Amino acid sequence: MKNLPRAASRTAAGLLAVAAAAVAIVSAAQDDRRPPRPIRPPAAGSSSPRSGAAGVSLPPRPFPSYRFLRPLNPLTDALLPDMPAYLSHHGSAPTAVAMLMAYHSLHGFPELMPGDVTVQGPLIDDIIASPGHYLDYSLPLDEPPDLLPDKSEGPPEDCHTDDSLADFLCTSRSAFGNFYGDTLSVDIKAGIEKYLKWVGGYRVITTPNRCQNVAWWTIRNEIISGRPMIFLVDPEGRGNADLYVTVAGLRSEGGVSFYGCHTTRDRELRWFELRPVQEGREWGVNTIYTVVITQAVFPPLEASIVRVVNDYFFFREEINRLSWKPNPSNKTPIVRTKILRKPLGSPDSAFAIVAELDASQAQFDDRGLSSSDRFVYRLTSVDESGHESPPATVTN
Amino acid sequence: MSAPGARATGRAAAVLAFAALFAAAAPAMDLTAGLMLGPRTLRDPALKAVYGSGTVYCPYVLLPVGRFFFLGGGYEAGFSRSGLIGIYREPAVLKVFGGEMFAGLKVRFNPLILYGRAGIGRFTYRQTVESPVAGDYPVDGSKWALSLAGGARVELTERLFLSGELKWVPLKVSPYDIPVDLGGMRYLFGVGYTFSL
């Protein structure tokens, strides 16, 4: 019995040694699974620290290199493999948006970009930033801290008509405080919408979100849904995001999430850690723009209204007979025509649905009216995805 | 007195007058009863186009008053016509029925009796339409109307006779400010019997 404590202590020591060895083995294995840290390039000196700047004047910097130990896992990772890759053409924002548009033009929205979008030829360059844009807003070429006035500060009639992504995104316009190649982050949403309106036939919902407000699965869901995104990132880790990239992939390894993007600085797909922008943290993400493009839905054509009297001998029913034609511009199947009405002279808030008809119908009788009833009607088309067109309006 | 009050008083006076005449005739103790039926037309061409002509049947009783006059009362029913109405061709039914009291003059040319009569009747009209808007405009009303008729009676025996009659009721109604002519001719044939009480 006296030797028992000693034997127990020896047993305990042995167990501790085994446990320590096991911990060491597990730790080593975890080190193997953990992705190698990026090879940090030396800090560069000159670049625009301004938020939203395009950063086209940045000197070439080596990208951080990650050695992934396993291939993409389809259960957790996502990648759009056929994303066209463009080099920056007078600004990262129009170039990144052009890549996004090019991807969609290859996947069901062919009119978004002209020509062969897989190769960045002159046609693509002109869509990114037209010669008119370069002459009116890029020149004189300027960089911080000396902002040089361009034509955006003169009368609008002296400028060319907007005809490129850089025009719609207000890139390089000194009147907006932009240096050459810069685009303000607040102009991305409106710029994309203007471009889609200029192209015609499509509608877009662009949603900007701070990186820290976007869940990992949201980004993954966008990518597996075939929707690349625009990220505003901070390549130099100054705490100021100044480069727009087109994001086409998301992967996780060793508990770390990475986004895959085309940076407009080369044509490779580059992977960076997905984390919010912070000083000293290279390629941190400031803003995530999700972009959902759908076919535009157009309202019925030639909507008209005729007053009809239905005679029941003892009383008469007044009817507003509405008729219309389906809009041939609709490229998605229209499943319903929605009809709303309000009394003539009442506010728009008084509009109420009176009928939802099958798309095969092109006439509706609003029955049971009295001779003094006067109404304003709105007719909208609804496609199979539930998207509703702007209204066509007819009045008694 | 208001106009509706005057009309009610007039109706009451007419009923009392008929009652007095019946009472005066009671000692004669002869009562004729009969049943007539036949087609009934609609005067309004639009109504006629939808509902067409119908058939009515008219039971009646007569009480002779002296040698040349008679009083009576009857009921007219059976007119129920279906049609498709309005621009949507919705199913509809029109019914007209009512009772009447009358007084008449008769002239005998054995075995033929010619007669003419006039009276007033309370006629009910009802139109039902299978329409989503018809519920807002129910058509179910009644109206007093004149009744004019003339005919002939052929006595087959001392008490049994056959009769033929033309009757016209000018019935115009307007339940919703739209006048509708429900009047029309009745071409009636029937049989009757005179009871001695």
Predicted confidence at residue A339, as pLDDT, reads 97
Say yes or no for a CB contact (<8 Å) between A315 and B129. Answer: no
Q: How confident is the model at residue A61 (pLDDT cuts 50, 70, 90)?
A: low
Predicted confidence at residue B197, as pLDDT, reads 77
Q: Contact A271/A78 with Cβ under 8 angstroms?
A: no
Say yes or no for a CB contact (<8 Å) between A313 and B137. Answer: no
As a whole-number percent, the residues of chain A with pLDDT over 90 amount to: 74
Q: What element of type H or E holds A233?
A: strand A229-234
Query: Nearest Cα to A55, choosing from A286, A289, A292?
Result: A286
Residue range B1-41, pLDDT digits in tens: 344 445 555 555 555 555 555 555 555 578 999 999 999 99
Residue range A13-28, pLDDT digits in tens: 444 444 444 444 444 3
Confirm or reject contact between B172 and chain A (CB < 8 A). Answer: no
C-alpha span between A66 and A254 (Å, rounded): 12
Predicted confidence at residue A37, as pLDDT, reads 43
Q: How confident is the model at residue B135 (pLDDT cuts 50, 70, 90)?
A: confident
Predicted confidence at residue B16, as pLDDT, reads 52
pLDDT surpassing 60 at residue A279: yes
Confirm or reject contact between B170 and chain A (CB < 8 A). Answer: no
Say yes or no for a CB contact (<8 Å) between B136 and A368. Answer: yes
pTM (2 d.p.)? 0.61
Say yes or no for a CB contact (<8 Å) between A310 and B136. Answer: no
User: Which B residues, 12 through 41, put their C-beta within 8 Å of a C-beta on chain A?
Assistant: none
Among A46-50, A242-246, B71-75, B171-175, which is the least confidently predicted range? Answer: A46-50
Predicted confidence at residue B66, as pLDDT, reads 87
pLDDT surpassing 90 at residue B143: yes
Residue range B35-75, pLDDT digits in tens: 999 999 999 999 999 999 999 999 999 999 988 999 999 99
Residues of B in contact with A319 (CB under 8 A): 87
Beta bridge partners of B43: none
Predicted confidence at residue A60, as pLDDT, reads 55
For the segment A104-129, the average pLDDT, to the nearest whole number, is: 94
Beta bridge partners of B122: B99, B144
Q: Contact B118/B70 with Cβ under 8 angstroms?
A: no
Q: How many angstroms separate the CA of residue B40 from the nearest CA in chain A?
A: 19
The dihedrals phi and psi of B123, each to the nearest 5 degrees, come to -110, 135
Residues of B in contact with A367 (CB under 8 A): 132-133
Q: How many angstroms separate the CA of residue B52 from the nearest CA in chain A?
A: 14
Confirm or reject contact between A318 and chain B (CB < 8 A). Answer: no
For the segment A191-204, the average pLDDT, to the nearest whole number, is: 93
Confirm or reject contact between A371 and chain B (CB < 8 A). Answer: no
Residues of B in contact with A312 (CB under 8 A): 85-86, 92, 127, 129, 131, 134, 137, 139
Q: How confident is the model at residue A63 (pLDDT cuts 50, 70, 90)?
A: confident
C-alpha span between A5 and A78 (Å, rounded): 58
Confirm or reject contact between B45 and chain A (CB < 8 A). Answer: no
Say yes or no for a CB contact (<8 Å) between B132 and A310. Answer: no
- Chain B residue whose CA is closest to A317: B133
Predicted confidence at residue B188, as pLDDT, reads 97
pLDDT surpassing 60 at residue A50: no
Q: Contact A269/A260 with Cβ under 8 angstroms?
A: yes
Predicted confidence at residue A44, as pLDDT, reads 33
Number of residue pairs across A and B with CB atoms under 8 Å? Answer: 46
For the segment B121-149, the average pLDDT, to the nearest whole number, is: 93
Predicted confidence at residue A35, as pLDDT, reads 42
Predicted confidence at residue A319, as pLDDT, reads 95
C-alpha span between A328 and A54 (Å, rounded): 41
Residue range A370-392, pLDDT digits in tens: 889 999 999 999 999 888 999 99
Q: How many angstroms separate the CA of residue A317 from the nearest CA in chain B?
A: 8
For the segment A194-202, the average pLDDT, to the nearest whole number, is: 92
- Supply the ipTM of this predicted assembly: 0.82
Alpha-helical segments (H) within chain A? 4-33, 92-106, 122-128, 131-133, 165-168, 188-199, 216-224
Predicted confidence at residue A193, as pLDDT, reads 96
Residue range A288-342, pLDDT digits in tens: 999 999 888 999 999 999 999 999 999 999 999 999 999 998 988 999 999 999 9
Among A39-43, A160-164, A345-349, B130-134, which is the least confidently predicted range? Answer: A39-43
Query: Nearest Cα to A34, choosing from A237, A273, A279?
Result: A273
Say yes or no for a CB contact (<8 Å) between A317 and B133. Answer: yes
Predicted confidence at residue B195, as pLDDT, reads 92
Task: Provide the mean pLDDT of chain A.
Answer: 86
